[in-house]
Amino acid sequence: MIIPSLPSNEQERQIAVQEYGLLDTLPEKDFDIITSLVATICEVPVALVTLLDTDRNFLKSHFGIPINQSPRNTSFCGHAILDPSEIFLVEDAEQDERFFDNPVVTEQGMKFYAGVPLINKDGFALGTLCIFDKKPRTLTKKQKEALKGLAHQVMNLFEERRRNNTMQQLQIELENRNEELKSFAGVISHDMKMPLSNMIITADILKAKYGNELDEKGHEYLSYLKSSSFTLSNYISGLLAHYESDKITTDHKDVFDIHHLLEEIVDLLNINVDCEINFPEKNIDINCNRSALEQILLNLIGNSLKYNDKDEILIDIECYNKNGLYHFSLTDNGMGIPKEKQKEIFTLFSTVGNVDRNGNKGHGIGLSTVQKLINKLGGDISVSSKLGVGTTFEFTIAALIS
């Protein structure tokens, strides 16, 4: 028996084999179909998809034998990957000095072997698609073509696996970086809240203690300092709410009626303008994450109040349960959203550009948080709007089963 030598590029070849992530994996239907098919076409009892590891021949698919690996130093495939021809053929192993006393021949009774090296785009032979028979024989031209064609399909499956592995790794890296970014944003936001509060308080103290000594410009500067601090504080609060929305568990259940929730939200908003809010005609019980829905409605109703230029603000809210989903709509008579901006408003940091009724610009965080929460609750949100007339938000959330 002649032990197969190692390729001159064995170290690089081994790295290539590892990149596909196929060693020691379970059988897969796609590969098993190919070995079954090639065994039928070539009329042999054994067909294999192999990968040559450091000291073993791993059988990714094994038709006709129960094992999933064998020693590399006795493998026919170890010779096949060294052969530059398209098919490595051993028509009668008992008459071949390389194999006549090989355990595969003397113990398992194999006499015939044909293997097509599985060569990747970088030129590394990873393993083989091969067949065995217990009698000396040869292959027809059609059988050889079929064996080569199916080996090509095996290599396609290998490449697909590598691409999937690469995409999964990239996804993991992106998720890790996203978590790091969220953690960083959370820490920075928390750390900035206290200095901003101090700035607001200091502005009030300066105005109270030294107000008589300041001219009109001085009072204007203090007001600007306080207003800017409040704006930045609200921006940071929005960021915190956006990132902390990830912590909301979708399966947390609360049962409550929608009218009661809306009454609490109206109280929280402390509305000081002429406003009429019409609740859903029918008061229904809701079974979902209460805090998440409260944050969604607080944001949407708050926007309807802020971005409204009418003397009397009108807000109509509808809610009903259908096919396991709660359907909500919230319509106002506000400023409206330009058509070209309606697709962008749920993107983080995207703003319409309007100032609210108090002259402040939005930060583009609230609606992104709303969409994130709604998606997390198994629903979706859409918007329709007409400038100068008003806006309607429609969204759904999944009803939890008690």
pLDDT digits (tens, 9 = 90+) for 76-89: 999 999 987 789 99
Q: Say whether both 256 and 389 belong to one domain.
A: yes
Residue 239 pLDDT exceeds 70: no
In a domain, 2, yes or no: no
- Spatial distance between the Cα atoms of 371 and 380, rounded to a whole number of angstroms: 7
Judgement on whether residues 91 and 190 belong to the same structural domain of the protein? no
DSSP 306-362: HS--SSSEEEEEEEEEETTEEEEEEEE-SS---GGGTTTTTSTT-----B-TTSPBP
Mark 37-56 as b/e (b = at least 16 C-beta within 10 Å).
ebbebbebebbbbbbbbeeb
Same domain, 163 and 178: no
CA distance 276 to 333: 11
Counted residue by residue, the chain has a size of: 402
- pLDDT at position 100 over 90: yes
Same domain for 113 and 151, yes or no, is yes
286: left (phi over 0), alpha (psi -120 to 50) or beta: beta
Q: What is the pTM of this model?
A: 0.52
367 and 271 share one domain: yes
Contact 37, 150 (CB under 8 A): yes
Tell me the mean pLDDT in the region 190-210.
78
109 falls within a domain: yes
| 107's tokens | 């113990």
Return the CATH number at 101. 3.30.450.40
Domain shared by 215 and 152, yes or no: no
CATH number of the CATH domain containing 392: 3.30.565.10
Can you give the pLDDT at residue 68? 92
Q: Is 321 within a domain?
A: yes
Interval 133-190: pLDDT, tens: 999 999 999 999 999 999 999 999 999 999 988 888 888 888 877 777 667 666 666 6
pLDDT of residue 393 exceeding 90, the answer is yes
User: How would you class 393 by CB atoms within 10 Å of its CB: exposed for 0-12, middle for 13-18, buried for 19 or more?
Assistant: buried
pLDDT of residue 340: 87
Can you give the residue range of the structural domain that contains 133?
Answer: 10-169
Same domain, 389 and 278: yes
Tell me if 3 is assigned to some domain: no
Residue 311 to residue 323: CA distance in whole angstroms? 39
Interstrand relation of 285-288 and 325-332 (parallel, antiparallel or unpaired): unpaired
Give the count of domains, the chain: 3
Within this chain, do residues 222 and 302 fall inside the same structural domain, yes or no?
no
Question: How much is the pLDDT for 362?
Answer: 66
